[in-house]
Amino acid sequence: MKVSEFDYRLPDELIAQEPAERRDDSRLLVLDRATGGLAHHAFRDLPDLLQPGDLVVVNDTEVRPARLWGRKPTGGRVEVLLLEPVSESGDWRGLVRASRSPAVGTSIQLDDDAAVDVVARDGDQWILRLRDRRGAPEAILDRLGVMPLPPYIRREERDPRDALDRRRYQTVFATHPGAVAAPTAGLHFTPEVLEALDRQEIARATVTLHVGIGTFMPIRSATVEEHRMHAERFRVPEATALAVDAARARGGRVVAVGTTVVRSLEASAEGDRVRPGTGSCDLFIYPGYRFRVVDAMITNFHLPKSTLVMLVSAFAGREPLLAAYREAVKNRYRFYSYGDAMLLHDPDATRARGKTR
């Protein structure tokens, strides 16, 4: 398959730069997988669109405020993105963006008390050491860090929207710090939506997948099959595996909230069951993939020619998905991380005990 087959036209003004006023104010485009039919809703309608007995699975990763701004000794401006800690003494793996790459040994000053030292280079990444005269190095993130928004959301140093991003580029069920990007399908949920799901007897479970920098990496090959995914750490709790079994037994559907949940569940599949545990997920899902666990999906609108568009195309079909995207553009939906959402499901489907696709 050619990567170009997953392209579409998107006017720049439809790329959302801020979230909706309320999380559940977002719009929800519903795609019927059986018929290809489309319907327009608000996200707060979700509980009425699902079925009693369904299981909604969310990603409870928490985004670190891991973007830092500083200055080199020459005065040059530097942007640092911390990816993951590599030691308990304040060393991190990260990315550095500057007009000229800093030399090993350079100290990047963040403020009068805090700095980032460039310890080593590892390919296109760096080993960076945090120092803070006020106390523990990790406290720098809470004090000076900003949320690592994707590059299509435009923010400058000391942007007045930082406080909004800290609150809204985080799901209401974020629990386990470790992500450098939000599982954006979960950003639309509110306590009111969760309470409505409970009233509808729709169960809920969690996985943890720490979204990595690979989520922003473009596909550089001409064909889909040549691409290799970056690995991301994930965990499927035993309670979630049992919840999937219980949903199967009562004929309910497994509804994945976001592509990270899809990949976590499918990477853990044994038949149409889920194996609990931790691991590293580099599963690349594209058309032709046979889904073993996920029956319905909630997801945002994704970048053209991205692995995420390919995953959703595998679930809904490439042509129906691109037709839905054209409908969304026509109706001025908001796109990408702070944008609107889709529900892809067969509203008449149930899963009987032991039944597989």
**Quick check: 356 pLDDT over 60?**
no
CATH, domain range 3-63+170-345 = 3.40.1780.10
Q: What is the pLDDT of residues 209-224, one digit of tens each?
A: 999 887 767 899 999 9
Report d(CA 100, CA 345) in Å as an integer.
Answer: 48
Instruction: Give the pLDDT score at 350.
Output: 67
Q: Where are the domains of the chain?
A: 3-63+170-345, 67-145
How much of the chain, in percent, has pLDDT values that exceed 90?
87
What average pLDDT does this structure show over 265-280? 93
For residue 76 the two structure tokens come to 């040059």
Q: Given a cut of 60, is residue 130 above it in pLDDT? A: yes
Asked if pLDDT for residue 353 goes beyond 50, the answer is no
**pLDDT tens digits, one per residue of 1-46:** 999 999 999 999 999 999 999 999 999 999 999 999 999 999 999 9
What is the share, in percent, of the chain residues with pLDDT greater than 70? Answer: 97
Specify the pLDDT at position 113.
93
Instruction: Report the CATH fold assignment for 67-145.
Output: Thrombin, subunit H (2.40.10)
pLDDT tens for each residue of 79-121: 999 999 998 778 999 999 999 989 999 999 999 999 999 999 9
Residue 351's pLDDT band (cuts 50, 70, 90): low
Residues 83 and 214 sit within 8 Å (Cβ to Cβ): no
